Amino acid sequence: MSKQTVAKAMKQIARTKGKISDLTNRMSKCLNTIDTNEFSEDYVDLSGERAEQVAILISLKSKVMAVNIKHNMFETILTLSERKNEIDFLRGLEVKQGVFNDRFGDNKATYKSQMTTAARNKSIDELQQEINDLTDTLDTFNATTMLK
């Protein structure tokens, strides 16, 4: 394999995953047939093709991981993932303030919250900006860094 950027390797990883998914589906569909029918494809042949694609995927992922670690980008990748998880967490919080009916509608209760909706949204916006900055850093790295 000739030298390529991390970005091109990532595209090849995505394509290889697609091939593996396609082969997996085809293998599943051709595994069994009614006794009097012919098999639509040879499971063993497809299995060999799939194994080759998995080997390519492992090699590509290993090279990408190695270059990310070598250039201290792994922490950036982990931070990006955790910031996305934090946004999901914040979006899932129900900020409840004011008077609400109980779930049967018979009684009213007044709620207070330790966080306002505005404060939650501000935190989400700040995290999203950090995600954007990290993504820009990774995109630049991926476009300019060559795999070994």
pLDDT per residue over 94-127, tens digit each? 998 888 887 777 788 888 999 999 999 999 999 9
* Res. 60: pLDDT tops 90: yes
Work out how many domains the chain is built from and give that number: 2
pTM of the model: 0.78
Same domain, 64 and 35: yes
Same domain, 77 and 147: yes
* Residue 104 structural domain: 72-148
Rg value, the chain, Cα: 25
Same domain, 79 and 64: no
Whether the Cβ atoms of residue 115 and residue 95 lie closer than 8 Å to each other? yes
pLDDT digits (tens, 9 = 90+) for 17-57: 999 999 999 999 999 999 999 999 999 999 999 999 999 99
Cβ-count burial 116-138 (b if 16+ within 10 Å, e if not): eeeebeeebeebeeebeebeeeb
Phi and psi torsions of 58, nearest 5°: -60, -45
Q: How far is CA 147 from CA 11, 56, 66, 95, in A?
A: 13, 15, 9, 46
Cβ-count burial 80-112 (b if 16+ within 10 Å, e if not): beebeeebeebeeeeeeeeeeeeeeeeeeeeee
Same domain, 45 and 114: no
Same domain, 61 and 100: no
